[in-house]
Chains A and B, each alone.
Chain A
Amino acid sequence: MKWIGRLTPKTLVERVIGAAVLILVAAGPAIFNDYWVNTILTQTFLFGIAAASLIFLFAYGGMISLAQTALMGIGAYMLGNMVTQGIPGGETKGLTLGWDPTVALVVAILGTTAIGLVFGAVASRSIGIYFLMLTLTYGVIANYFFGQVTQFGGFSPIAGINQYTPGFVGDLVGHPDKLYYIALGTAVVVYVLIRYVARTPFGLSLQGVRDDPVRMSSLGYAVPLHRTLAFGFSAFIASLAGILLVWWDGQIAPGNIGLGATIELLVICVIGGLARVEGAWLGAFTFIVINNYVRDVELPVVGGSFNTIIGLIFLVIVILSPDGLMGLWDRLWRSLGLGGGGTSDVAPAVQIAPEASSP
């Protein structure tokens, strides 16, 4: 038990909380009711994965990407086009290739990663706010693409995708608990994978690129290549989220990847905290709980719907605590004088609101 002594109190507390949460969700179906298991928690895991792909890019690469929802949608659309079989009468949209689901799964993941690499290569020389604008443009273009190109889907959704799952996954429609565990397992794998990649030589030089691209470049590192590869990796993670989304929802439509969905994913990340990967699932959980229980509330005085509330919450968080709930947690420990910066791998320079604001 020597390793415990090397941890700061904060890290220790975080690991204990993390382990407790894992045990709790692992026993989830036995503890929570069906609605929580099949709707709130499963959704938390899968949107958390999508959020993690965005947070990975920001925390380790210093890039805010608004294309993650689109990449998720590209993965989902690829799978939907490849696995569905045309029903006589044309009920199913898309190409309805009717491929073997396992093959389709692999092709969808690889294809999305490849598209992510192309997107990343085009954006790799843009940084900061330019990168954000360019990736937003990707997102909107992808949305219009799937809305307009009727061969790949068109305006209405490709439905019934979750009927065609690979043999090792089995029947998800009849056994939603199975999907719960698949989503949970994928989320854990993605978390571990991101933490691992951050510690590889590639991850370390990526963080160097984040902090000082000019110095890294003069040291001989290929800065655009690092950004491109990081974007490809995040596209890979986003494709997993997209596949889980169609397995959960059964369908994919342009509305799933529109600007609204893009902003929702960003809200998830900002609520959780863009600086730490854990924030992805914390933000997803908070957002989905709010979404489920506040959806039907009509705002007094100003009118409007749920979106006004989400917009206001988003505004308040960005103004008060731009590094989200995880940032609040980190600051709490800092104010106690314990654990210092904790496990945050992020240099202050890339936080949304640097302490010393530089014009």
Chain B
Amino acid sequence: MLERLRHGDVGQLAPKIVAGALVAFAILYVVVITQPPPEIGNGGWRNTTFGSAIHDPGSFLQILLDAITFAGLLFIVASGFSLIFGLMRVVNMAHGSFYLLAGYIAYEIQQQMTGEGFAIAGTDVNTWEWVLPMLVAAGCVAVVGLLVQQLLLSWNQGQDLRQALITIAVSVIIADQVIAHFPRTGVFQAGGGNAVSMTWPGWTERRVDLELWGVQYSLARLAMLALGVAVGIALWLWLYRTKTGMVIRAGVDDQQMTASLGINIHRTFAIAFVVGAALAAMGGTVGASQGVVGSGQDTQWLLNSLVVVIVGGMGSLLGAAAGSVLYALVLTFSAAYLPLSATQYSIVLTFGLLAFVLAFRPQGLFGRAG
């Protein structure tokens, strides 16, 4: 959780250098290296698989905003993962399953509230009909998280591999139970999957004119970014300005010492796990609203959380934010700027990002050594 940049030795400068190099290369790539978009095809920016930032700055801004707003969602989910890991050294392999479960719970509740079928028009959903499903889903998943923590993890604190295996077992069970029970309304898509989609509140369903290179941008995606920033600020205030947060930070630094000062560290563990699970749930709701939620996304979001915290550094709030932004930039820009024939290789760039960061910083950009 701690930002470790105040101490100014060379090792502490490495994250800045690495992050700077990554950003510099990304900018160089999109500004200089890529070719201008082909003249054929219509004007939709999604069709420009080639594109240079100078040739078409509007499209560049769109992609940049896509990346930054996606980073907001990544941060919501990954900060929960990072919080649990930072304090308890528990790699919660069920984090993606929490995301999945929450997406379905929120979807079911929104369906109940609006009483409509699969595709709800955004105009029929008011803010309350989005916020309440999110809160209920977060509450349900927080209870699941509390049960997992209390029943399965609290008695074997410190055995980190065993705890990882236990949460893997939990994720297998949740994934199978989700397939068995959701969605209840029997909506199955043509592909045979069980993917469903929530609906953002109606007022977000418009485009904001940024008055810059003629870009109109989706308000829902900006809301996603705002939620990510709000979660970040709330977490920062909680960790750095409240007594519980102080105890958590003390626990991150030295568990035994904190416990021996008479602080109930086990209660703190439970709180952190519940908050982490609730963040996964919030992410699940946002993700289900922005895209779809369906079986298999638990893997996707476990991967996302892992990449973000491996790149950013375990247990660091700043690291989770930096990791989210870097990973989102790599994903979004590789999908948009790689030549058409190579777009499918974009997943390799994720590995490249990991390898690049770990080569310089085995503990991640803002992680603690050892």
- Number of contacting residues on A, CB 8 A? 46
The answer on a CB contact under 8 Å between B310 and A133 is yes
Assess the B165–A318 pair: CB atoms within 8 A.
yes
Bound CA span A144–B164, Å = 23
B351 touches A304 (CB 8 A): no
* Interchain CB contact (< 8 A) of B344 among A128, A148, A270: A148
Are the CB atoms of A304 and B176 closer together than 8 Å? yes
- The answer to whether A307 and B172 touch across the interface, beta carbons within 8 angstroms, is yes
Beta-carbon contacts under 8 Å, B144-182 to A: 152, 156-162, 164-166, 168-170, 172-173, 175-177, 179-181
**Which B-chain residue is minimally distant from A128 (CB atoms)?**
B160
What 0/1 readout, one digit per residue, does chain B (300-321) give for beta carbons within 8 Å of chain A? 0011001101100010000000
Chain A residues with CB under 8 A of B299: 140, 258-259
In the complex, whether B362 has a CB less than 8 A from a CB of chain A is: yes
By the criterion CB–CB under 8 Å, are A141 and B161 in contact? no
Q: A348 at interface (Cβ–Cβ under 8 A)?
A: no
Chain B proximity of A310: nearest CB distance (Å): 6
Contact indicator per residue, chain A 241-282, by CB within 8 Å of chain B (1) or not (0): 000000000000000001100010010001000000000000
Verify B168–A266 contact, CB threshold 8 A.
yes
A354 within 8 A of B: yes
Known A-B contacts A148-B347, A259-B299, A315-B173; the reply to A129 vs B164 at CB < 8 A is yes
A141 and B179 alpha carbons, distance in the complex (Å): 23
Is the Cβ of B351 less than 8 Å from the Cβ of A311?
no
Q: In this assembly, does A305 line the interface, its C-beta being within 8 Å of a C-beta of chain B?
A: yes
B355 touches A (CB below 8 Å): yes
**Bound CA span A130–B354, Å:** 13
Query: Residue-by-residue, is A287-328 near B (CB-CB < 8 Å gives 1, otherwise 0)?
Result: 000000000000000111101101110110011001000000
B residues near A144, Cβ cutoff 8 Å:
347
Q: Are B348 and A145 in contact (CB under 8 A)?
A: yes
Q: Which residues of chain A are within 8 angstroms of B255 by Cβ–Cβ distance?
A: 359
Give the CA-CA distance A81 to B181 in the complex, in Å.
Answer: 39
Partner of B354, one of A122, A303, A307: A122
Pull 21 A–B residue pairs with CB atoms less than 8 Å apart, ordered by A.
A122-B354, A126-B358, A128-B160, A128-B161, A129-B89, A129-B91, A130-B362, A134-B310, A134-B358, A137-B307, A140-B303, A141-B350, A145-B345, A145-B348, A266-B165, A266-B168, A312-B169, A314-B165, A353-B159, A357-B156, A359-B255
